[in-house]
Every structure is written in structure tokens, then in C-alpha cells.
């Protein structure tokens, strides 16, 4: 039986959050009443002409640089011709053989191992309007009428095309997540999958392991979460392997991911080969990126998630935690950095920040936690003044009140008793009351110690430092 | 005193300034002229009686308060019906845009309104400016004022005929392959296509974006310059608009041509050129030489294949530019069972035969497998022609040629033979391929009493030298003929 190797490439469409659209002055804005942000240009009225948005071009150059691409010194817009009711000019201004950015890479991290994924290109284009099909379950072929909203028409769109370097559904998901984190870091897009401001399509093929040539690829669309991307790719891989093992062929086509059915279905029945008749957009001049501008944008790039991940790993944070921390909210990362600067252990801090603190802040958003405060809390745990579970309680209250850990612990009466005299007395009392247990311990049954620790803890109301109780018990039992 | 409708813009401006005439008088004169000639000539698709009246009154009011805005304030002008005019029907002489009222003014229209010009109406054209005779109009052809059995040329035939007939003092047209200069030549008026980028295309309904350029049709070289100056200059709404300073040409109008190097284009003569046209061209060249110009014959081999390149690139751009007329958002809609069917029916019924032919040509030229042989090759020819012109302009200051190989031909003479029709643009197309300025000036009449146009071409941004030579051509030609129809109309006035 043949072993199959999946080959996956991802195409990403990123809607930029520039103030205005790609080729006109209309606002880029989500969730407004239909056809409120429109003008002759983005409606494709006769005589209207495009003027390229400099801020959008700067964004794509930054994306290209962050993906280690070469920025073309000169790049050209093309017209991609096809008829569709929500495409007002019946051509899309895009880029064909002269994209802004080419030949880059993104290091992704999956289960602690790093993997370099090639980036073929990133190019600039404009988004289409939206068709809102009325009746017939919202499907175009059964709808009774269709309404058109052109608010999205002309929103700047960056398409990023990876090389077919991904080898599993999990890798596809990791790539998508890491790329999304990079886009978010650059602050060029809302990058929300559910709103469609970042959209992933996957090109999937399979081939026998060791084969040099690629199999026939299928493009899958309509995945609106990372989970559905992973599921869709996995399902498509399975479908193709089943076809090939059954002696059939894979047909080159576009397939639609059906979230409920958990499978892909053919989307374009009469696919044929679409001929977009690309040609140079005569209404726009070639884009020229001066070397000093590109250099400036390069040096102004923020620290990127992959680099940050390496930095955290270098500090001693485990790979998986470092990945989560590298992609998390900047506010949480600030707290992490401050806490470590205040003396906390990086790995322990990272676990707290990506775990408990993330959970608490998700429930109760607050800006009252400082890194120093977290460092104080972790120090109390380390010094035996707080148990881990009590520390979680303290953290919740710190977030709510903004008070220091020691103050909160005291107020909530959660401080561990580390007064040796009190513990000595409590231990003595417990041992006196439990001669049978003492005898069993002394005869070598060491696990009885747990029972005794429990009793001491109960008698101190749970506030004794368990470590100290354990030590004191052992000493008195020997003595 | 001559009828106000026959004045140049400059003279009308003087009358306004002295108070001998008002803007309302000028408008009355051209409207009266139109009422006498429109039934026969059909220069206009739409006459904006109310808007024009209002603009004329406002102009007179400004003048009474000494707030006049310049040389076009109060001057009645006509606009080719492919300029978007806010609230005023803009049809491109096509069924598909019949009744369409744009929500905005094109940049040129906005600048004209700012300058106080009185826009009389929108003139007839070949559908979407595709044609050389104004016969491809969905609303019927325009006829030539010099002989109504003849075409006025095209595609700006309505504008050229209106200026010749006196139903506007001057007009604007668009020139993609000669659509200003060729009808100007056939109607005995001056037609100027500026350097690509000097006049904003924003709001001009696109035919072929990399060739389209707006320019004036007028009764004198000086008027043409005045109209050009009123609308030229950078427009942030047109990315192909030239960002630098507009060349200053007015001082050179009176300079003469002493020591100016003039090249007569060898490729624009010979077979296919009417003897009267060739004779008039050679005669003018001899007069220029006698006036001190240094004349030589030059060869531009690419001119011979310019027409072929043009008829691949222009239709390619047309196929995309005209794709937006689909019945979805504006204009004609012919219903169908599906969206695709609605679009197909709308386009099939909305476009005339020439528009359809060019869309098909262009779609074919851009198709996979044919792109390089057709569109790609045509672009290489275009580059070669640009380089040849640049070299020639190292040796000469301007090039001269006929503006059209023939004088006005009869209606219907070429409608069944698209290739013959395309060949009427052979003299004008090179300047469009290269984006360089060119002007046509009337220099005489043929044996049938039809005007002959003489073309002067300059290098990009060479408007100063171009107008210097054009003004001398005008002085030497002393073209003061008038169409017979006006003499007849004059009797009735």
C-alpha cells in the first residue's frame, strides 16, 4: 500500500484597515448600513478613475518585509477581467506578473519544532462588493433576488501566496495562525476571520511519499476559523487519498468547505479554464518603491512573533508556551516582561501569564495589573507564603482592586502560616493524638505522612505552609 | 456686424468686456443658430436650455459686479457627450447609457464651470467615441455643415460641426486616435490634442485609457489655446495626470517660424491621399519654408504599422472599459432569467455594431494563447514608435503632415467597410500611440469646396513650439471660408 504525502499551499486575503479605500476616498468601515461608503470610483461609474492609496502600499511593503520578501523596485497593477454582479467594473484591479513582494518565508512552529514555509508573493488588489441573496436559503442559484452592498468594494486587499511547503492539516493551521499573528503585530488589518477581514483558501494535493512531481491540486474555500481550516484540509486530504486508492483521479477544481457536513463539495461545476485576460491597468502608473523608503519601513518594523518566540525560548521558556506568549495580547506581554525584570522566573511567569492571567483578564478586563504586582505574587508562592490555589484567588482580586499581592492575601486571610513555633505545636498535638499512625510510620510505612500532613493542615485552617509542615513532621517523628 | 454666433472666443470676449454684447446675447445667438441648423446637421444630443440660460445670466451678473472670471466667462461652449455632467444626460451616443444622468461633473466640466463658461449642450459622437464619421451614433449621424451629404468626421463630429456651424463658439472633444483632429480637418476648424496627461481624464467616459486625451475644437489657434489653458493642469483625481507645470505656449503665438526645423513625414503621403490634400500640404510646407523654417523630409517607419498596433491596444482596453455597462447599476437593463442572461441581453441590445466589434476584437487580443502575438506585439510596436519619434525630435522641432488623407466623405461610404473607416485615422494615430501633442489647422478647400486640415505634431510637452508653428500656419493659410449652409442661414437671419 502506498504511503501518501499531502502537499498544501495557502492563499491569504488580508483586508487592510486603512482610513480610506484602495482607489478612492471612501471610508473603510465594517457593519455600516449598505451602500453608505460609496462614490463614483468604487461604484465603477462611467468616467471615474482610480488613484492608489499610499498608506495601503506602505502596508503591503511592511507585510512583504516582515515575510522576508524582496520588494520589487517597480511593480505594476493589472486588470483581472471577469463578470460578476458585485464587481462593479467587471474587472478587478490586481497584480499579475509584477507583484509588490516576492520570495520570502515565514518560520512556523508546531509542537515545538520550527519549520520554514516559503512565500511566493504578496500582491495588492481591491475587494469586491457583497451579494446578499434573498430567499432560496441564501444561495445564488435558488435566490429570488439579490441585493448588492458596495461598502466593501474597493477596500484594499493584500493577497499572500505561500509555496506548497505544508505537509499536513495541522501545519496548515499553524501557518495560518502564525501568519495572522504577524499581520496583527504589524497592525495593518483587523485580521478577524469571522468578519472576513482575513480569509484563507487552501490548495491541497497528495502524492506518493518520495514522488518528485506534485499531484493535481484542489482549491478549497469558505473556512471561517482556524479549526475549520484544519478540518477542511484534513477532509480534503482524506478524500483525495480515497480517490487515488480507489483507482480514480483527482480533478482540478474549486471546492467549498461545508462546516456542518464536515466535508468539501464541488463549487464550480463547469469550471473550464477561466481566462482573466490580465493586462496592465492603464489608469495607474507603475508603483516605484525607493530603496530608502523600503529601508526605513524595514528598520521601523516591530518585533515579529517568530523573533519574539525565539527570544522567549532563549530566556528559558518552553517552545509551546513561548509560541503562545509571542502571539498573545501586547498588554499581557508587557506584564510578562515587567515581571521578569522584577526578578520572576521567566518560565513560571510565562505559564501564569498565558494561563491564569489570560483567563482572569478575559473574564474581567482590567488595566490594574502591573508586572511588578505579578512578580510579587509569584515571589510569595516561591517563598511559601501562598499556595498555588490561593495565589489564583489572590490574582483575581488583584485584577479587580489593583492592590498588591501581600495586601490582598492578608485581606482574604490566605497567607500560609510559616511561624515555626505554631507549626511545631500543631505537629506535636497531632502526633500525640495519633499514636497508631506514628507507629505505622516508624515501622516504615512512609506514606502515612500524607495523612498526618492533612491533619496538621486542617488544624491550622489550611494556612500552614505544607512544605514546612512536612519537614516538621518528619523531624518530630524521627526524634 | 457679423452674427455673434460666428465670433471667435477672443472677439466675443472683447464684446463682453466692452459691453457690446452680454453672455445672454451670445447664448441667444448660438441657440438661434442651432434652431436653424440642428434639424439638418444634428450636432447635439442634448441642448441644456435651462442650465445654459442660468449660466449666462450668472455670468452677466458677475460681469456687472466686475467679478468676471476670465476669458471663458459667458462664452457658450459645447461638450462632446462623453464628458460626465452632473444631472445632465450623458449618453456617449449609446443606447446603453440612454437617460443616464451622472452624479458628478468631470474635472474638465468643473473647471469650465468655475471659469464661468456657458455649457450649451452635449454633442453627438460615434458610440463611446469609436468611429471616424459620427455615423456610429445610436441617435443618428451628424452631418457636415460644408455639405450635409458628407460626414463631419469623428468621433467628435458633433463638436466639430457645431463650431463650424455656429451653434457653439468653441467646443471640447476627446481624441483617442484622432477624434478631435480628423473631424476638425473635415469641418474646417482647429482641433488640438494636448500631450497625454496635461488635461485630466477624470469624468471622461473611458474609451481607451492610455490614448484618450481631451482637447478643444475652435475657430482659431488662439481660441484653441485659450480653451486648453482653461482646463489643463494637474488633477489629483487622475493618476496619469502630469504633475508638473503646463507648458506656456501663448508667448510663442506671434513668434513666427524663422529657423524652426520642420520635418515632413514621408510615410503620411502617397497612395490613399487625395491629390488636393497632398497639394495643400506641400503648398503649406513651401510657405513655411519661405517664412524662414528649415524644412526636411523625415521617415518614421513605425508610422506604417501604427494603425495596426492601435487597433489591437485600443480594443483591448475597450473590452475592459466597457465591461461595466452590464445593466446592474445604471443605464439600460434588459431583463433575463438569470443575472448572466440579463447582462448578456443588456449588452447585446445596448451596444451598437462598432462597439460590439471592438469589444470582441479586444477580448480576442487579450485571450490566453493570443495575448503575446497580438496585444504584446502591439505594445512593442508602440515602444518602437515612441523611440523613433524621440529620435526624430532630436533632428526637427515639429513634424507636419495632412490631418486626414481625404476631405469629408459621403455618409454611408465606409460604413460597410470597417477597415476603410479605420484607415481615415492613419495620420492622427501616431500621436496617440506616443502621447505627444498634435494640432490640425484648416488650410484650404478642395475642388468640392470641402476643407483640408494640416497637422503639426510636437514632442511631449512641446506645446509652445507646436502653437508657434500652428499660429504661423493659420496666418499663412488665411482660411476665411464659410460653409454654404451658413450663407443660406444668414439670409434667413
Tell which B residues from 229 to 258 touch A, by Cβ distance under 8 Å.
236-240
Chain B contacts of A275, Cβ < 8 Å? 367-368
Q: Does A318 fall in a domain?
A: no
Q: Does A322 fall in a domain?
A: no
Q: Is B80 a catalytic residue?
A: yes
B292: cell is: 524662414
Chain B contacts of A46, Cβ < 8 Å? 84, 90, 92, 97, 100, 102, 205-206, 324-325
Q: Does A16 fall in a domain?
A: yes
pLDDT in tens, A11-36: 999 999 999 999 999 999 888 999 99
Residue range B327-333: mean pLDDT, rounded: 96
pLDDT in tens, A426-445: 888 888 888 888 888 888 88
A417: cell is: 502560616
Q: Which domain holds residue A207?
A: 4-293
Tell the burial category of B271 from Cβ atoms under 10 Å away from its Cβ (0-12, 13-18, 19+). exposed
Q: Are residues A248 and A397 in the same domain?
A: no
CA dist A48 and A60 (Å) reads 25
Q: Are residues A35 and A182 in the same domain?
A: yes
Q: Residue A297: is its pLDDT beyond 50? A: yes
Tell the burial category of A372 from Cβ atoms under 10 Å away from its Cβ (0-12, 13-18, 19+). middle
Contact A277 B366 (CB under 8 A): yes
Residue range A71-78: mean pLDDT, rounded: 96
Q: What are phi and psi of B428, to 5 degrees?
A: -95, -25
Q: Does A170 fall in a domain?
A: yes
Q: Which of B97, B323, B375 sits opposite A81 (nearest CB)?
A: B323
Q: pLDDT-based confidence at B165, cuts 50/70/90?
A: very high
Q: Residue A368: is its pLDDT beyond 80? A: no
Contact A85 B317 (CB under 8 A): no
Q: How far is CA A8 from CA A180, A206, A221, A307, B366, in A?
A: 17, 8, 13, 24, 31
Q: Are residues A96 and A208 in the same domain?
A: yes
Q: Are residues A151 and A222 in the same domain?
A: yes
Say which CATH class B4-266+391-492 falls into: alpha beta
CA dist B379 and B434 (Å) reads 11
Report pLDDT for A31.
87
> Residues of chain A with pLDDT > 90: what percent?
64
Measured CB to CB, residues of chain A less than 8 Å from chain B are 40, 43-52, 79, 81, 83, 85, 88-91, 146, 148, 273, 275, 277-279, 282-285
Q: How many domains does chain A have?
A: 3
Chain A contacts of B363, Cβ < 8 Å? 277
A424: cell is: 511545631
User: Does residue B329 sit at the A interface (CB-CB below 8 Å)?
Assistant: yes
Q: Does A308 fall in a domain?
A: no
Q: Does A312 fall in a domain?
A: no
pLDDT in tens, A319-358: 889 999 998 888 899 999 999 999 999 999 999 999 999 9
Q: Does A167 fall in a domain?
A: yes
Q: Are residues A136 and A195 in the same domain?
A: yes
Q: Are residues A174 and A273 in the same domain?
A: yes
3-class DSSP assignment, residue B150: strand
Which of B93, B94, B137, B179 is the catalytic position? B179
Q: Is B155 a catalytic residue?
A: yes
Q: How far is CA B77 from CA A348, B16, B224, in A?
A: 81, 15, 12
Q: pLDDT-based confidence at A111, cuts 50/70/90?
A: confident
CA distance A321 to chain B (A): 49
Chain B contacts of A51, Cβ < 8 Å? 236-239
| Sign, CA torsion B367/B368/B370/B371 | positive
Q: Does A85 fall in a domain?
A: yes
Contact B320 A81 (CB under 8 A): yes
Tally of CB atoms within 10 A around A222: 16
Q: Which of A48, A90, A278 sits opposite B326 (nearest CB)?
A: A90
Report pLDDT for B492.
52
Report pLDDT for A412.
84
The answer to whether A94 touches A77, Cβ cutoff 8 Å, is: yes
Report pLDDT for A1.
64
Which of B22, B59, B68, B80 is the catalytic position? B80
Residue range A453-462: mean pLDDT, rounded: 83
ipTM value: 0.95
Q: Are residues A124 and A217 in the same domain?
A: yes
Last residue of a domain, one of A368, A386, A411: A411
Q: Are residues A240 and A343 in the same domain?
A: no
Residue range B176-182: mean pLDDT, rounded: 98
Q: Are residues A432 and A400 in the same domain?
A: no
CA distance A301 to chain B (A): 29
Q: Residue B209 CA to chain centroid, in angstroms?
A: 15
Residue range B80-97: mean pLDDT, rounded: 98
Q: Are residues A246 and A121 in the same domain?
A: yes
A143 → chain B, closest CA residue: B338
CATH number at A461 reads 1.10.10.410
The answer to whether A22 touches A221, Cβ cutoff 8 Å, is: no
Report pLDDT for A42.
98
Residue range B132-157: mean pLDDT, rounded: 98
B365 → chain A, closest CA residue: A277
pLDDT in tens, A173-213: 999 999 999 999 999 999 999 888 999 999 999 999 999 89
Amino acid at each position: 500500500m502506498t504511503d501518501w504525502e499531502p502537499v498544501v499551499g495557502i492563499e491569504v486575503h488580508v483586508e487592510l484597515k486603512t482610513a480610506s479605500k484602495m482607489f478612492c476616498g471612501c471610508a473603510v468601515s465594517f457593519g455600516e448600513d449598505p451602500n453608505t461608503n460609496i462614490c463614483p470610483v468604487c461604484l465603477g461609474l462611467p468616467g471615474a478613475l482610480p488613484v492608489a492609496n499610499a498608506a495601503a502600499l506602505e502596508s503591503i511593503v511592511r507585510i512583504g518585509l516582515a515575510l522576508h520578501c524582496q520588494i520589487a523596485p517597480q511593480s505594476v497593477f493589472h486588470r483581472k477581467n471577469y463578470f460578476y454582479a458585485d464587481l462593479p467594473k467587471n474587472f478587478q484591479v490586481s497584480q499579475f506578473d509584477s507583484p509588490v513582494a516576492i520570495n520570502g518565508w515565514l518560520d512556523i512552529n508546531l509542537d515545538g519544532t520550527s519549520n520554514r514555509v516559503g512565500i511566493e508573493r504578496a500582491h495588492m488588489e481591491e475587494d469586491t462588493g457583497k451579494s446578499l441573496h434573498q430567499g432560496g436559503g441564501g444561495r445564488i442559484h435558488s435566490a429570488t433576488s439579490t441585493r448588492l452592498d458596495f461598502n466593501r468594494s474597493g477596500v484594499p486587499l493584500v493577497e499572500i501566496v505561500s509555496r506548497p511547503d505544508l505537509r499536513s492539516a495541522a501545519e496548515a493551521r499553524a501557518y495560518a495562525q502564525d501568519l495572522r499573528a504577524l499581520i496583527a503585530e504589524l497592525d495593518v488589518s483587523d485580521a478577524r476571520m469571522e468578519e472576513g477581514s482575513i480569509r484563507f483558501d487552501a490548495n491541497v494535493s497528495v502524492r506518493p511519499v518520495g514522488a518528485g512531481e506534485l499531484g493535481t491540486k484542489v482549491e478549497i474555500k469558505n473556512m471561517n476559523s482556524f479549526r475549520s481550516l484544519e478540518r477542511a484540509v484534513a477532509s480534503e486530504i482524506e478524500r483525495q487519498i480515497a480517490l487515488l486508492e480507489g483507482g480514480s483521479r483527482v480533478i482540478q477544481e474549486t471546492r467549498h468547505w461545508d462546516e456542518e457536513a464536515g466535508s468539501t463539495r464541488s463549487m464550480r461545476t463547469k469550471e473550464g479554464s477561466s481566462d482573466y485576460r490580465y493586462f496592465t491597468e492603464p489608469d495607474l502608473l507603475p508603483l516605484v518603491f525607493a530603496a530608502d523608503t523600503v529601508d526605513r519601513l524595514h528598520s521601523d518594523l516591530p518585533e515579529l512573533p517568530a523573533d519574539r518566540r525565539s527570544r522567549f525560548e532563549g530566556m528559558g521558556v518552553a517552545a509551546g508556551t513561548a509560541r503562545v506568549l509571542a502571539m498573545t495580547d501586547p498588554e499581557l506581554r508587557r506584564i510578562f516582561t515587567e515581571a521578569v525584570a522584577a526578578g520572576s522566573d521567566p518560565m513560571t511567569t510565562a505559564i501564569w501569564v498565558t494561563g491564569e492571567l489570560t483567563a482572569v483578564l478575559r473574564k474581567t478586563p482590567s488595566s490594574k495589573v502591573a508586572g511588578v504586582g505579578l512578580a510579587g505574587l509569584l515571589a510569595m508562592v516561591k517563598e511559601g507564603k501562598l499556595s498555588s490555589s490561593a495565589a489564583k484567588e489572590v490574582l483575581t482580586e488583584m485584577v479587580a482592586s489593583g492592590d498588591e499581592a501581600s495586601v490582598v492575601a492578608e485581606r482574604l486571610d490566605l497567607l500560609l502560616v510559616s511561624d515555626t513555633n505554631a507549626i511545631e505545636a500543631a505537629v506535636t498535638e497531632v502526633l500525640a493524638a495519633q499514636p497508631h499512625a506514628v507507629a505505622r510510620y516508624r515501622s516504615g510505612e512512609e506514606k502515612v505522612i500524607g495523612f498526618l500532613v492533612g491533619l496538621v493542615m486542617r488544624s491550622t485552617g489550611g494556612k500552614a505552609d505544607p512544605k514546612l509542615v512536612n519537614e516538621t513532621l518528619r523531624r518530630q517523628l524521627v526524634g | 456686424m457679423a452674427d455673434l454666433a460666428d465670433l471667435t472666443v477672443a472677439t466675443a470676449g472683447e464684446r463682453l468686456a466692452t459691453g457690446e454684447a452680454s453672455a445672454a446675447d451670445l447664448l441667444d445667438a448660438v441657440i438661434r443658430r442651432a434652431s436653424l441648423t440642428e434639424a439638418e446637421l444634428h450636432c447635439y444630443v442634448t441642448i441644456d436650455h435651462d442650465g445654459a440660460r442660468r449660466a449666462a445670466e450668472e455670468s452677466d451678473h458677475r460681469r456687472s459686479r466686475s467679478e468676471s472670471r476670465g476669458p471663458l466667462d459667458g462664452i457658450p461652449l459645447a461638450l462632446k457627450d462623453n464628458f460626465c455632467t452632473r444631472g445632465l444626460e450623458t449618453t456617449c451616443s449609446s443606447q446603453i447609457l440612454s437617460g443616464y444622468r451622472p452624479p458628478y461633473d468631470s474635472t474638465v466640466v468643473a473647471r469650465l464651470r468655475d471659469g464661468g463658461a456657458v455649457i450649451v449642450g452635449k454633442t453627438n459622437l460615434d458610440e463611446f467615441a469609436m468611429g471616424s464619421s459620427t455615423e456610429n451614433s445610436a441617435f443618428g449621424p451628424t452631418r457636415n455643415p460644408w455639405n450635409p451629404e458628407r460626414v463631419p468626421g469623428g468621433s467628435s463630429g458633433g463638436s466639430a460641426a457645431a463650431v463650424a456651424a455656429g451653434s457653439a463658439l468653441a467646443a471640447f472633444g476627446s481624441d483617442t486616435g484622432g477624434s478631435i483632429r480628423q473631424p476638425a480637418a473635415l469641418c474646417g476648424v482647429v482641433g488640438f490634442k494636448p500631450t497625454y496627461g496635461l488635461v485630466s481624464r477624470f469624468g471622461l467616459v473611458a474609451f481607451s485609457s492610455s490614448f484618450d486625451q481631451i482637447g478643444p475644437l475652435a475657430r482659431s489657434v488662439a481660441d484653441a489655446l485659450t480653451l486648453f489653458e482653461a482646463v489643463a493642469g494637474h488633477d489629483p483625481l487622475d493618476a496619469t495626470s502630469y504633475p508638473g507645470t503646463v507648458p506656456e505656449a501663448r508667448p510663442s503665438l506671434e513668434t513666427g517660424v524663422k529657423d524652426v526645423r520642420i520635418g515632413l513625414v514621408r510615410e503620411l503621403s502617397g497612395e490613399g491621399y487625395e491629390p488636393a490634400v497632398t497639394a495643400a500640404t506641400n503648398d503649406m510646407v513651401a510657405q513655411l519654408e519661405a517664412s524662414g523654417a528649415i524644412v526636411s523630409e523625415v521617415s518614421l517607419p513605425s508610422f506604417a504599422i501604427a494603425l495596426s498596433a492601435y487597433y489591437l491596444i485600443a480594443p483591448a482596453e475597450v473590452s475592459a472599459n466597457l465591461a461595466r455597462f452590464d445593466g446592474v447599476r445604471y443605464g439600460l437593463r434588459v431583463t433575463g432569467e438569470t443575472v448572466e442572461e440579463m447582462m448578456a441581453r443588456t449588452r447585446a441590445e445596448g451596444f451598437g455594431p462598432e462597439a460590439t466589434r471592438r469589444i470582441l476584437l479586444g477580448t480576442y487580443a487579450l485571450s490566453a494563447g493570443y495575448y503575446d502575438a497580438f496585444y504584446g506585439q502591439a505594445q512593442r510596436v508602440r515602444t518602437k514608435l515612441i523611440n523613433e519619434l524621440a529620435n526624430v525630435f532630436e533632428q526637427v522641432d515639429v513634424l507636419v503632415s495632412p490631418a486626414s488623407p481625404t476631405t469629408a466623405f459621403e455618409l454611408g461610404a465606409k460604413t460597410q467597410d470597417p477597415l476603410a473607416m479605420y484607415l481615415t485615422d492613419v495620420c492622427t494615430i501616431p500621436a496617440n500611440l506616443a502621447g505627444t501633442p498634435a494640432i490640425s489647422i484648416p488650410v484650404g478647400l478642395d475642388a468640392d469646396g470641402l476643407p483640408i486640415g494640416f497637422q503639426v505634431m510636437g514632442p511631449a510637452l512641446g506645446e509652445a513650439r507646436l502653437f508657434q508653428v500652428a499660429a504661423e500656419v493659420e496666418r499663412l493659410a488665411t482660411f476665411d471660408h464659410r460653409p454654404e449652409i451658413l450663407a443660406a442661414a444668414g439670409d434667413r437671419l
